[in-house]
A and B are shown apart, each in its own frame.
Chain A
Amino acid sequence: MVKEFNLVIIGGGPAGMAAALEAYALGIKDIAILERDDSLGGILKQCIHNGFGLHVFKEELTGPEYALRFSEKIKDTDITVLLNTMVINAEKNKTLYAVNPDFGFMTIKAKAVILAMGCRERSRGALRIPGANVAGIFTAGTAQRFVNMEGILPGTKAVILGSGDIGLIMARRMTLEGIKVLGVYEIMDYPGGLTRNIVQCLDDFNIPLHLSTTIVKIHGIGRVTGVTTAKVDKNMIPIKGTEEYVECDTLLLSVGLIPENELTEQMGVGMYQVTGGAYVDQDLETDTEGIFACGNVLHVHDLVDYVTMEGQKAARSAKAYIDESMEQKKTKPEIKVVPGNGLRYVLPQHIYLKDNDEKIRVFFRSKARYKDVLVRALINNEVIAKKKVIRLIPSEMESVEIKASDLYIKTDNGINLKDLVIEVEQ
């Protein structure tokens, strides 16, 4: 079966739903969302804690409530929602192959594609934690699904490796369900999650957070019976003699998220190593014409609100592309955006120069922790934007706004093309 759409959005989580609704509001006809689960909402459905929506809705919602704000609206549109639909292959010419219980094998052709597949969790194997190959080891998100959707607890005594937000949230969630959470172990010398979660998920329940500590071995026969922890030195190498045995039957891993870009790579879209997502311009367009990316598949976000906004932006760009009102980029001069001193990555990674009053927001993450610093945007050694940041930490995304016209002028009207550097002022 062949289906054709103007816009196909892969993924019906927060990014995909926001993109679909925005595209619909802008008047795009024939929009489809392809979602692998049996309902829209993505990972939000299992994030039953609150704290979502402060930026977008100016109120605190739980994950399912946040998702419903979008999925209920989508019901009132003629957006085609294909659930239980797995896209199994994709081509550069925006032909997708998908499988779905109602239609079987489908060939789907799109004028424009928005990638919104989200991310997956880093597993034990990727970390190569040595020890027994036993049951009882979960990524925090998988455990969250079991507890919050299936209503089954992972075990009785748990240790959490990594202080990412999902791990912290699960520490509280499991404690409330009567599971003894013995501690959270973080290899870095600072926590990975938000302060608010450290306070409300750990401190409230007297769950210890062990910094500069990791798990060096998993023990057990059949099921986890304990872990050996060890302090690490500043190169994150375990220090001999600091090992401690902790008895537990469950180990949760909250050690990072990886954008799910297998389809993106199949489509031949260029990737940016640091984020693990596509290489995009200020319109969130990848290096392949008409393919846009947003949300956690592009780079891992810390707030869903920003995912929503990014989804909306991708939809606006897709609209311009479909209407053919998007400027012909191939003929335009382009500059690279690169992370300078103190920064790990920037997004977008390249900008097409135009002489208009468009404001371009460049997102970035730092490599280390800073207090009261200036982040600046430099081109040809001239500062074109500055921002004071009270607290700059790797786990919180920041941004700086740049005027398109400034870039245009500082590159001598797009002739003297130098990289735009975003950096922490030394």
Chain B
Amino acid sequence: MNYDICIIGAGVVGSLIARQLSKYKVKIAVIERNVDVSMDATGANSGIVHSGYDAKIGTKKARFNVEGCNMMPKLCEDLSVKCKMIGSFVLAFDKDDEKVLQQLYDNGIKNGVTGMAIVDRDFILQKEPYVNPLVTKALYAKNAGIVSPYKLNIAAMDNAIMNGVMFLRETKVTGIEKKDGLFHIAVDVTGDICSMSKIDPIKEEDRTDITAKIIINCAGAHADEISHMAGDDSFKIIPRRGEYILFDKTEGSRINTVLFQTPTEKGKGILVTPTVDGNLMIGPDATLAQDKDDKCTNSDNLDYVYKTATQSYTGLNMKKSITVFAGIRATPSTSDFIIEESSKCKNFINVAGIESPGLTASPAIAVYVEGIVRSLMEMKEKAKDEYTMTVKHDKPFSEMTNEEKEKACSSDELCRKIICRCETVSEKEIVAAIYSPCGARTVDGVKKRTRAGMGRCQGGFCSPHVMRILSEHTGIPVNRIAKANANSCMLGRYSRG
């Protein structure tokens, strides 16, 4: 299949770029090795909208962080994604820390960050009663917040697909060849979930003989390998693992702000934050990963995360932890984001090394990359009624008032079946997640879109029901339903044939 543009990688950066370009009259494919968007770095992200005082002045990180932070609330509104600009503190516990706060403040001013102030102990403790009372000062940033990284990612891809972008999942790029100015992309099929599904199955011709005029490399931790395929070895990606502990919603109600520790030479510290859905989360540490896909958690690292978090926050109750997870960050060997057309390969754009604050920067990166693509290729915008930049979602059942619930139930039978008790998710929401443009095909896919299984019982009760619903609608047999990729079948064989 011949495409104008192929985007490799459906993380938040790749998906937002796809959405940004989907308003043009061009044929776009997003190639993703996993079964779903948001399965690597984006899926295991802190979900913080950073205000931008951190990055070194003059870097791409600094520019796109500040721009992205300013764009984030409106983008999330357009995509019906929750984003809460709840502000952040960088907490100082001694004079040395305070010095760093001042440096961060000064750096923030240079980067163009607004709404910062150095605040005293009383201000902090009044806002956050569970902060360690030994706190002396903090850098308060009003223009910071939280967002669900995978919800943003999913909505961006939904939007892109609504505008005609082809999403080739379970498809791994294995080689890139350039002939007569055209890229030929060799791919392997990594799984059969999407071809088994009777809803929007991937047609084989869509991923046979793939050609593209422009490639945008958004392959996260593997971006250096993709770049190598195009003949550009100018950078390396160093995979770093960050581990997190997530707590019950009962714990999230006691915290209102994102709490950072003062960065030292040893590291950035551990953050304590509420999530947009009301949980409490702590993490991440940063350890060098041997393998780019090793997302294992380790007891020493989790202990470190917990112990370090207790230095700034006294309200942690380990009995209320509901899950632990790890993500791999793509740290570039160049120390700054790499967002440019390759000097070695024309029409090959690297968007690589997007580590923190990559999520915050992603909306601005998407617009910037749009500019690069326009400089390389003539593109005409579609007529206004031929595309949309907004995604509408029904309000989740759990967030409705009693009156709204009553109304929803009276008009829709599927609303009346509550599948996930912990998070009050109705069958209607699960079915909607399956039929959405970038539809869920797996148990984790349903979980990320609807929160079914995300609560305190971690799917103990609802997973059999979620699997039944997935099977009924996609036609995939129950015992072939996977947790994540095709190699992660939930169950074995039928006991009685």
Contacts and interface: CB of A to CB of B under 8 A. Distances in A.
Interface stretch (A49-57, A119-127, A309-317, A381-389): A119-127
Contacts of B321: 125-126, 128
A133 B325 contact: yes
A123 B457 contact: yes
A145 interface: yes
Contacts, number: 151
Given A86-B418, A125-B246, A104 B460 contact: no
Contacts of A219: 296
B245 A128 contact: yes
Interface string B297-331: 11101100000000000000011011111100000
Interface in B340-365: none
Nearest to A132: B296
- Among A123, A125, A154, the most chain B Cβ lie within 10 Å of the Cβ of A125
Contact of A142 (B299, B413, B421, B464): B464
Contacts of A128: 245, 302, 318, 321, 324
A120 B457 contact: yes
B331 to A, nearest CB: 21
A156 B492 contact: yes
Interface string B466-497: 00000000000011001111111111111110
Interface string A189-231: 0000000000000000000000000001111011100000000
B289 to A, nearest CB: 13
Nearest to B422: A262
A366 interface: no
B406 A105 contact: yes
B487 A36 contact: no
Contacts of A153: 491-495
A150 B302 contact: no
Interface in A88-105: 88-89, 97, 99-102, 104-105
Contacts of A124: 323, 458
A187 to B, nearest CB: 14
Contacts of A179: 492
Interface centre among B321, B326, B458, B459 (most CB of A within 10 A): B458
B219 to A, nearest CB: 19
Nearest to A263: B421
Contacts of B463: 142
Contact of A152 (B293, B298, B479): B479
B417 A101 contact: yes
A147 B413 CA distance: 30
Contacts of B372: none
B405 A105 contact: yes
B254 to A, nearest CB: 15
A131 interface: yes
A88 B302 contact: no
A309 to B, nearest CB: 26
B321 to A, nearest CB: 6
Contacts of B492: 152-156, 179, 249-250
Identify the interface centre among A104, A134, A141: most chain B CB within 10 Å of its CB: A104
Nearest to A238: B299
Nearest to A145: B464
Interface string A138-169: 01011001110011111110000000000000
Nearest to B464: A145
A223 B293 CA distance: 14
Contacts of A270: none
A268 interface: no
B402 interface: yes
B296 A100 contact: no
Contact of B293 (A100, A151, A156, A221): A221
| Among B417, B487, B492, residue most surrounded by chain A Cβ atoms (within 10 Å) | B492
B460 A141 contact: yes
B424 A88 contact: yes
Contacts of B422: 262
Contact of B410 (A88, A104, A262): A104
Interface string B438-465: 0000000000000000001111110110
A94 B408 CA distance: 24
A79 interface: no
Contacts of A131: 296-297
A101 B413 contact: yes
B299 A216 contact: yes
A134 B491 CA distance: 12
Interface string A329-343: 000000000000000
B81 interface: no
B51 to A, nearest CB: 31
Contacts of B489: 135, 223
A152 B495 contact: yes
Nearest to A123: B458
Contact of B483 (A88, A104, A135): A135
B460 A142 contact: yes
A84 to B, nearest CB: 7
Contacts of B488: 134-136, 222-223
Given A135-B484, A155-B492, A130 B479 contact: no
A216 to B, nearest CB: 6
Contacts of B405: 88, 97, 99, 105
A323 interface: no
B161 to A, nearest CB: 25
B416 A121 contact: no
Contacts of B246: 125
B133 to A, nearest CB: 25
A104 B418 contact: no
B430 to A, nearest CB: 14
B118 interface: no
A88 B461 CA distance: 15
Contacts of A99: 405, 409, 415-418, 426
Nearest to B412: A104
B295 interface: yes
Given A36-B421, A139-B460, A152 B322 contact: no
A221 B408 CA distance: 41
A124 B494 CA distance: 25
Contact of B296 (A88, A107, A130): A130
Contact of B493 (A134, A145, A152): A152
Given A101-B417, A121-B457, A125-B458, A132 B496 contact: no
A160 to B, nearest CB: 16
A123 B323 CA distance: 8
A177 interface: yes
A149 to B, nearest CB: 8
Contacts of A133: 295, 297, 325-326
B346 to A, nearest CB: 37
B495 A105 contact: no
Contacts of B299: 130, 216-217, 238
A399 to B, nearest CB: 27
A97 B403 CA distance: 11
Given A105-B410, A132-B295, A222 B491 contact: no
Interface in B25-39: none
B296 A217 contact: yes
Contacts of A154: 491-492
B495 A121 contact: no
A150 B416 contact: no
9 contacts: A101-B417, A104-B406, A105-B402, A131-B296, A132-B295, A142-B460, A154-B492, A177-B495, A217-B296
Given A99-B426, A105-B408, 7 more contacts: A97-B402, A99-B418, A136-B490, A142-B463, A216-B299, A222-B485, A222-B486
Interface of A: 36, 84, 86, 88-89, 97, 99-102, 104-105, 107, 120-121, 123-126, 128, 130-136, 139, 141-142, 145-147, 150-156, 177, 179, 216-219, 221-223, 238, 249-250, 262
Top 8 closest A-B pairs, CB basis?
A222-B487, A125-B323, A104-B409, A86-B418, A135-B483, A222-B488, A123-B458, A105-B406
